[in-house]
């Protein structure tokens, strides 16, 4: 189990309660959305700045997530009479001039998502540890049954997520197959390409997936101009 005793006030004084078999804690299906990573990788795979039509639909993703609890017939997937709690959280960095982000945040809240917003005042400001901390808190407060992580960030997520899977948590990584090798190659993690989530996009993304190539092959166009790349490469080499 993740060691969160130093991060969460009050846990260090209750070691006996922090380590148990989960009985007495409500089951939870938890969704974690890494907004900076998903936005960045979306731009990478389509080779352009995302538009409203190419951004994921959070309402459809919320419906898919809740339907995945397996409670259509009542009770949780393990046959219990106690329904699993569901929680979906979006983690976002907010620039000094948020612009239309206020409307985006309010829309997410209206869809049932909690939003953790951290100001981004420096280029290296991020929310990676905040996401891991929240997973650890929920692992303590609930019996974590299913964890769905929308992120292609293997550097921060690979080891903690595999540790949870070894403890019996169903861990699902949802990201773009082009950038989620850590999950695709894992024997412990389940992987779903975000475009395979029903209704996640209003129209197919302009991308060619290596895991879904047509029989006759396909061209993958460059995501930046050759001249621009060489100019940058030359400047770095001469600098």
Per-residue pLDDT in tens (0 to 9) along the chain, 239 residues: 444 434 444 433 443 444 455 568 899 999 999 999 999 999 988 888 888 888 999 999 999 999 998 753 334 444 444 578 999 999 998 887 777 788 999 999 999 999 999 887 776 778 899 999 999 999 999 999 999 999 999 999 999 999 999 999 999 999 999 889 999 999 999 999 999 999 999 988 887 777 777 788 878 777 678 998 899 989 888 87
3 located within any domain: no
CATH number at residue 122: 3.40.50.1010
Kindly provide the b/e burial profile for residues 194-223, where b requires at least 16 CB atoms within 10 angstroms of the residue's own CB.
bbebeebbeeebebebeeeeeeeeeeeeee
Instruction: Name the residue range of residue 161's domain.
Output: 26-212
144 located within any domain: yes
19 located within any domain: no
**What's the residue count for the chain?**
239
Q: How far is CA 122 from CA 94, 118, 119, in A?
A: 11, 11, 9
End-to-end alpha-carbon separation of the chain, Å? Answer: 47
Considering its fold, how many domains does the chain have in total?
Answer: 1
The string of DSSP codes covering 151-209 is ---HHHHHHHHHHHHHTT-EEEEEE-GGG-HHHHT-SS-EEEEGGGSTTSSSS--S---
225 located within any domain: no
191 located within any domain: yes
14 located within any domain: no
What backbone phi and psi angles, to 5 degrees, belong to 98?
A: -70, -20
- Give pTM, 2 decimals: 0.78
78 located within any domain: yes
pLDDT at 74: 39
2 located within any domain: no
């Amino acid at each position: 189990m993740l060691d969160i005793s130093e991060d969460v006030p009050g846990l260090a004084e209750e070691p006996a309660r922090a380590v148990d078999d989960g009985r007495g804690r409500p089951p939870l299906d938890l969704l974690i959305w890494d907004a900076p990573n998903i936005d960045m990788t979306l731009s990478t795979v389509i080779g352009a700045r995302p538009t409203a039509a190419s951004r994921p639909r959070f309402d459809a993703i919320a419906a898919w997530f809740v339907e995945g609890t397996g409670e259509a017939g009542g009770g949780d997937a393990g046959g219990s009479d106690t329904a699993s709690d569901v929680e979906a959280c979006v983690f976002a960095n907010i620039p000094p001039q948020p612009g239309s982000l206020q409307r985006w945040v309010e829309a997410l809240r209206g869809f049932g998502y909690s939003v953790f917003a951290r100001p981004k005042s420096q280029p290296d400001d991020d929310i990676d540890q905040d996401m891991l901390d929240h997973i650890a808190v929920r692992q303590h407060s609930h019996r974590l049954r299913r964890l769905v992580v929308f992120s292609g960030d293997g550097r921060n997520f690979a080891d903690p997520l595999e540790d949870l899977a070894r403890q019996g948590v169903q861990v699902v990584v949802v990201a773009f197959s082009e950038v989620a090798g850590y999950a695709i190659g894992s024997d412990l993690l389940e992987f779903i390409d975000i475009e395979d989530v029903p209704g996640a996009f209003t129209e197919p993304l302009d991308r060619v997936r290596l895991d879904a190539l047509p029989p006759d092959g396909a061209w993958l166009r460059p995501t930046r101009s050759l001249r621009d790349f060489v100019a940058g490469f030359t400047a770095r080499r001469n600098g």
